[in-house]
Structure 1
Amino acid sequence: MTPGLLFSIVIAYFVILLIVAWYTGRNSNNDSFFIGNRNSNWMLVAFGMIGTSLSGVTFVSVPGDVGKTAFGYFQVALGNMMGYVVIAFVLLPLYYRLQLTSIYNYFSTRFGNKSYKTGASFFILSRTLGATARLYLVVNILQNLLEEAFKDQFQVPFWLTTLIILLMILLYTFEGGVKTIVYTDTLQTTCMLAGLVICIVYILNRLDMNVGSSLQAMGSKGMSKIFFTDPNSPLFFFKQILGGAFITITMTGMDQEMMQKNISVKRLVDAQKNIMTLSLIFGVVILLFLFLGGLLYLYADTIGVTAASDKLFPTLALDAQRMPAAISVIFIIALISALFPSADGAITALTSSFCIDILNMQRREDLSEKEKKKTRRFVHLGFTVIFLLIVLVFKHIDSQSMISVILKVASYTYGPLLGLFAFGILTKRTVNDDMVPGVALAAPVLCYVLEMCQSYLFKDYKIGLELLVINGLFMFIGLWLSSGNFQKKGMLS
């Protein structure tokens, strides 16, 4: 791929996003930025959330992981689909009843101000680390492509590539926020899924196979196995399904970025339709990504390519000697489409949470709308800088599979949120608000100790995705020990 072609693709894509941002961001205010004036179309939200839920990590890591875990990741997807049911019929009714702009306001009403700040802080930590890990993976692929394209002319520093991409995201989300992202995510999800389907069709043709024969070939190599029945394995189906359910409940239902889009829909029933539609599409799309992964490994075997894991898909798609330029272009467009939804929504949600939950901006009557907007813009710019710095850190601790890194980070940082929400919804007890921050820090520390000592405590048993549930359970127990059995006056639960 020539430098000119690569540059043209990126610029053309960005110009389209800017046009959408200009159109949707006109006459926007803080309500538009935070919750889209509660007037988003539920069908657009449902479709656009596919791109946010999948991101570049799914686009690259899930197909690449097939060589190691076969179709085992679909066990997690089945759990994800169960988790969406809990979100639709337990969490969303709560958020709509309380008319929340930030979902962590629930903790303020239910427990107290320190619990509220603790929940919001853990979200900010979780989403910052998770989103930057996703961003790093895609930027690193684009960086490798840039180095190859410009190797005979000049060197493009990794930090500059990251900075340019973040500035692009900053520009098209700066005014419209959620109101803009609902539309840009729809566009980006369309491009990503179109790229997925086109790549599948092309490789099937190159292999001279149909769906049935390709599945048989994958099965003969052990790549089409879905369910793993060894209880000691981290891939044990019960652990994967359970972990997948709680990952969705926490990383979607208890995540301001994801719920910010849902509560921007006017009616609860439409938000519920959005989530249930998302769950069905999500399951189908994950199966397609796994199928693509199997095809990539079959194709790599036939042409003698040894790349694996996160490097497999980019290596094959960008191989100028074996792939036509059209497929490389489609891959780049789909990859960029996977990149932007995982970062634009995160920066917007982090800005919203920091302004509302940490700075209490919505409650500040001493600030004019103009002053609030100025503060929000400053915070938005600040998170862009933080993203840049953390992506550069990830560059120095490169991992073979970023999806495993993201799930591990989620297990440690979303556990306290899971415990807080579970305790608030399932019990009527109050807590010692002053102790909540300490309990929230102690729960992941105990999980770390447990994980380090697992070989001594459990012998052959390996802790997998259930670490998130254990973390939440530690938080729940800590809250119970610091609680009373009387109901807080005026409490909403």
Structure 2
Amino acid sequence: MVGTGGPVASFSVWDYVVFAATILGAAGIGLFQAIRGRKETTSDEFLLGGRQMTAVPVAMSLTASFMSGITVIGTPAEAYRFGAAFWLFGFAYAIMSTVTAELFVPLFYRLGITSAYEYLEMRFSRPIRIIGTSMYIVQTALYTGLVIYAPALALNQITGLNLWGVLVATGAVCILYCTLGGLKAVIWTDVLQMVVMLAGFVAVIARGAVLQGGLTKVWEDAGEGGRLKAFDFDPDPRKRHSFWTIVIGGSIMWVSIYSINQSQVQRYISCKTLGHAKMSLYVNMVGLWVTVSLAMVTGLTMYSIYKTCDPLTNSDVTTSDQLLPYLVMDILAVYPGIPGLFVAAAYSGTLSTVSSSINALVAVTMEDFIIPLWENRTQKQVTWLNMGLSIFFGGLCIGMAGVASLMGGVLQAALSIFGMISGPLLGLYLLGMFFHTPNSIGSLSGMIIGLVLTLWVGIGAQIYPPTADKTLPLPLTTVGCNSTISQNHTTQAPWTSATPMTTLPTVRPLLADSWYSLSYLYFSALGAVVTIVSGLVISIATGGCKQEKLHPDLFVKKSDMFCFRGYNTSEVKIRILYKKEGIDNKAFTELQSEIISKDMTTKL
């Protein structure tokens, strides 16, 4: 009987068919893009889609990249265990989209960059660019390995799907269409994967609503279980999720992910016009709202079904990440093929994230390491190298998945640590974009100080996880289970995934319940603020930035933002001529740009 505990069904033949069809569909799109663009083999075409992409597919790709397999499985579990507070991230997504679209996109767009870290060399120095790129490569390789492994482990333990077979298949498919189709293949497969992910959520919600007697009953059960209390205005920064930690800390965290992460930057700078680039982020914002809403409703539906028999406490599953796969096999196994659709949804998130990472890793490796040192290169050599790097990084990500299987909880700690890198890096970019004073010494020193602090609090939080009064897990029961096994569970660190819950250390230092209990959503904010303040102070102490000839295009301008935008007639006509010439998104040298501008002004 559904919702009363015990073993669930395993995959049927039709489930394997649906799952395989989705994976092959993604590979097919990559092959199609490779055949379609076989005559366009430039590096710009491979890495940026020829800078001719439009807003909607790029927006769907941005959203799909956010929806990793961990997110597909983890967000409903978040609603099940902690309630609807996660829904408040809708505010953070709106703030992130606006800040990225109005501040970062115009800056990167007019500079014509391929790697987001090119800006660090333009504004500061080449060593800082190399440091930023290196941090990104290490972070992305480790994270991508976890993205492949964690959902595979959770699904394997519930569905019986062969773990290593799927790991290798996932990596192989991503390598195939990334190598052959480049960014266009990545974006268009993301569109397909986004549709599959949303369909997976809808299938679970629809079946759950039928079993429970409608969504109204699901909502009532969630309310009675305390799952709808989303607005907690307690300003305590140690509270894992409150209105302030999510809206303030969450916004800064997501800005650091979308504004300077190569995987995201590479998408919106591939758009053919600045308008399309900005619009892609606003459409992506709507996509994030829809996605998180479906994920949260899925979690509330899961609570309604298991409100009297928690599979986690009843030992039907060993981690919270297995809750949603368990629910799928429990309520959808009677419809052959539908569980396969859900697994395809989870793996679509994995494919999207992995392919995005591979393409971004190739871009930064080429632009930041190889091309500056390789002058006598031919276009054919660059093309082959791009493809070779795609294969290399794809294999590396599969290797990292293997490392994840051996490291277990240690890699979860690594994930949280590398996630904290984004805060100090964001502070470094903000120093360069808004202030003329910071120099290379001050900015690099500020970033190191910010990184040390975030690593300190992050590692401390991993060793001494916050107590239940900070994370606020909601009550669950097993009174309605067919069989109940008593088991004690303790609070899990907020970033952990696919690992059993661990007991808290018996001896806790004084910092454990204060500094180490800081909400994980404030890590990025802490890193950014400390980097900015210390970077400014050290820069002033070391003489400030003496490069008097810094180009104004390296800084954010009032005209970048929609609320200050106003063009005179000649500016509008020049922009129209630029579009007619097809150069709205081309990386021209300063001299070329001046010549073209003068020529167009003469035409007017």
TM over 0.5, shorter chain: yes
Aligned residue among 216, 219, 224 for 1:215: 219
| Counterpart secondary structure, 1:265 | coil
Give SS of 1:81's match.
Answer: helix
- Larger-gyration structure (1/2): 2
Contact kept, 8 Å, 1:39 with 1:265, in 2: the verdict is: yes
Superposed CA deviations along residues 54-109 of structure 1, whole A, max 9, x for unmatched, are 22122100101123321111233321221111001000010111111112111111
1:315 aligns with 2:375: no
Structure 2: how far apart are the matches of 1:10 and 1:459?
Answer: 45
TM-score normalized by structure 2? 0.74
In structure 1, the partner of 2:341 is 330
Q: Relative contact order (C-alpha < 8 Å, sep 6+): which is higher? A: 1
Give the conservation status (yes or no) of the 8 Å contact 1:188–1:337.
Answer: yes
Instruction: Name the stretch that deviates more: 258-267 or 466-475.
Output: 466-475
In structure 2, what is the equivalent of residue 274 of structure 1?
Answer: 280
Residue 391 (structure 1) aligned to one of 396, 401, 424: 401
TM-score by length of 1: 0.89
Correspondent of 2:549 among 483, 489, 492: 489
**Aligned-pair CA distance for 1:213:** 3.0
CA contact (8 A) 1:429 1:487 kept: no
The 2-side partners of 1:309 and 1:360 are apart by: 45
* 1:424 aligned onto 2:432: yes
In the alignment, which of 371, 376, 380 is matched to residue 381 of structure 2?
Answer: 371
Task: Give 1:405 deviation, angstroms.
Answer: 7.7
Give unpaired runs (5+ residues) of structure 2.
1-9, 465-508, 556-604
Superposed displacement of residue 254, structure 1: 0.7
CA 1:144/1:57 → structure 2, altered by over 3 Å: closer, same or farther?
same
User: Aligned to 1:318, what secondary structure does the other structure show?
Assistant: helix
Moved more, 483-492 or 106-115: 483-492
Q: Shift of residue 487 of structure 1?
A: 4.1
CA distance in 1, matches of 2:225, 2:414: 27
Code of the aligned partner of 1:280: V
- The number of aligned residues is 480
Q: Pick the aligned partner of 1:12 from 18, 21, 45.
A: 21
For 1:401-439, what per-residue CA distance to the aligned partner results, in whole angstroms no more than 9, with x for missing partners? 97x985x34542112211111101120124135x76565
TM alignment of 1:50-61, pairs within 5 A: 50-61=63-74
Which residue does the alignment assign to 1:180? 185
Matching residue of 1:152 = none
Q: Which amino acid aligns with 2:379?
A: E
The corresponding residue for 1:91 is 104
Deviation by residue 1:308-357 (Cα, 9 ceiling, x = unmatched): 62111001212489653243122122122222101111111111111111
**What is the CA–CA distance in structure 2 between the aligned matches of 1:2 and 1:221, rounded to whole Å?**
32
Alpha-carbon offset, residue 359 of structure 1 = 2.1
C-alpha distance in structure 2 between counterparts of 1:390 and 1:400, whole Å? 13
Aligned amino acid, residue 445 of structure 1: V
User: Which one has a larger percent helix, Structure 1 or Structure 2?
Assistant: 1
Please say if 1:167 is aligned against 2:222. no
Query: Is residue 445 from structure 1 mapped to residue 452 from structure 2 by the alignment?
Result: yes
Amino acid of the residue matched to residue 167 of structure 1?
A: A
What is the CA-CA distance between 1:302 and the residue it aligns to? 5.6
Cα distance between partner residues in 1 of 2:122 and 2:402:
38
The 8 Å contact of residues 114 and 437 in structure 1, kept in 2 or not, is answered as no
Distance 1:14 1:411, change over 3 A: closer
**Residue 518 of structure 2 corresponds to residue 463 of structure 1:** yes
Instruction: Select the residue among 273, 288, 304 that pairs with 1:298.
Output: 304
The letter for the 2-side match of 1:284 is V
Offset, 1:39: 0.6
State the alpha-carbon separation in 2 of the partners of residues 59 and 268 from structure 1.
Answer: 31
Q: Deviations over 1:375-398 (max 9, x none)?
A: 222322221222122222222344
CA distance in 1, matches of 2:175, 2:411: 27
CA distance in 2, matches of 1:413, 1:387: 19
Identity %: 21
Stretches (4+) displaced over 6 A = none
Unaligned residue ranges in structure 1 (runs of 5+): 150-155
Partner of 2:249: 243
Select 1:23's aligned residue among 32, 48, 56. 32
How much does 1:263 deviate? 0.7
1:61–1:401 Cα contact (<8 Å) kept: no
**Which one is further off, 231-240 or 218-227?**
231-240
Q: Secondary structure of the residue that 2:180 maps to in structure 1?
A: coil
The alignment's C-alpha RMSD in Å is: 2.7
User: Could you tell me which residue of structure 2 aligns to residue 101 of structure 1?
Assistant: 114
> 1: CA distance between counterparts of 2:220 and 2:194?
30
* Equivalent residue letter for 1:432: S
Give the conservation status (yes or no) of the 8 Å contact 1:122–1:416.
no
**Aligned equivalents of 1:108 and 1:377: distance in 2?**
26
